[in-house]
Structure formats: structure tokens, C-alpha cells
Amino acid sequence: RDTARVFGRIAHGAIIRTFAQQDVVEFADFSQLPTINALSNEEHPCQALADLQTLAERWQGALEGRRIAFVGDGNDVCTSLVHAAMMLGISMHVATPKGYELPDEVVDQAADVSQHGAGLTEFTDPKAAVRDVDAVYTDVWTSMGQEVEYAERKRKFSRYQVNDALMGLARPDALFMHCLPAHRGEEVTDEVIES
């Protein structure tokens, strides 16, 4: 709070990359500065803006009615992609292992901000989730701060790797997306990321 108040007197805005989302909210409250979340445990909105800008370029602006599958962890990147996609009329299929789903409040928020009939559907089977989608997105299985869970997550997520067989179930022109840095051989194969 003290740091936030001091920054509030000397800066015009702040960009914060941290762990707890609450720290970003509290900084904004106490600094009274426009505060941009550059990644927290819960959300990664700047990543979603960049991803949707990329997709808008690749799809020449035709976003409404598209479908994106997110395969892996229902994490910060997945949350913000769901928020942004819903607002732009893009439906999301999210495939996660049990226990790694999107938080319930994010599922509710998705319904609240959805436009043009976009919907969020949750899956445990990655094959069912990627069927007929226009893009397949994945992220690391172990995010920053979760390193002690690495071995357990690697085991639980092994079925969620994005490989040629999985991409083969999406639309023939489907794009592959990853926020980076990627762990080749874990959440994505070399062949898919180089394709």
C-alpha cells in the first residue's frame, strides 16, 4: 500500500507482472493509477489481446462464429483467452484433466460477457474438444510458481499433448497457438510448433 501510494504521486500508470491478482487490484486501489495486469496467477489479459490481434490478422477480421480449443491447464492464459473470445463472439472448447478446470467464477463470467451467441464448453477429452475447431491453443502444464508440482502435473497432463494426431482432428486449416515459452515434447510436439 505504501509503495502504491508513492507511485501514485510520481507516475502516470503502472504495469505489473506478479503472482496474486489481488496485489494488482490493491495496487490500483491505493495508487489510483491506471494499472495494467501483465500476468498474475489468475489472468493474463495482455496475452489475450495479442492472441486475438494475431487471429484477427490471420482470419482477416472474421472472428465471429469461430471456435478455439484450449487444451491443457485451465490457467491464467486460458482464463483471459476465454474472456476475450467470448466478447468477440468466438466459442471456446476447454479440455483439462479433472481438478484443473477453469474456476467456476470464470465460467460464470464467460456467460456474462458472451456476445453473438459465443459459448464455453468444458471437456475432459482433448479429442472431443478439438473436433472442427479453427485454432488449437495450449500453454505449459506447470506455470510460474507451481514448480514443485512439475512431476505430478507432467503425469496428469500427458494425455493433453498437442501433437499431429490431435491437430488432425481439428479443421484442416486450423492454426496452432501457444503463449510461449513452450516445453517441446510436453504440451506440444516439435512437429506441431514448427508447422
Q: Which is nearer to ligand NVA, 111 or 144 (CB)?
A: 144
Give the separation between CA 177 and CA 9, rounded to whole angstroms: 40
Q: Does 51 bind ligand NVA (CB under 6 A)?
A: no
The distance of closest approach from Cβ of residue 38 to ligand NVA in the complex, given in angstroms and rounded to an integer, is: 10
Give the separation between CA 70 and CA 142, rounded to whole angstroms: 15
Closest CA to 133 of 147, 144, 143, 119: 119
The distance of closest approach from Cβ of residue 179 to ligand NVA in the complex, given in angstroms and rounded to an integer, is: 5
Contact 114, 154 (CB under 8 A): no
Instruction: Using CB atoms within 10 Å of the CB of residue 16, give its burial: 0 to 12 exposed, 13 to 18 middle, 19+ buried.
Output: middle
Near ligand NVA in 88-147, by CB under 6 A: 139-140, 143-144
Q: Which is nearer to ligand NVA, 51 or 139 (CB)?
A: 139
Near ligand NVA in 61-90, by CB under 6 A: 75-77
Q: Which is nearer to ligand NVA, 123 or 137 (CB)?
A: 137
The dihedral sign for the CA sequence 115, 120, 126, 129: negative
Give the residue closest to ligand NVA by C-beta: 143
Structure-derived torsion over alpha carbons of residues 8, 9, 15, 16, reported in degrees to the nearest 10: -50
Q: Which is nearer to ligand NVA, 31 or 75 (CB)?
A: 75
What residues make contact with ligand NVA under the rule CB under 6 A? 75-77, 139-140, 143-144, 179
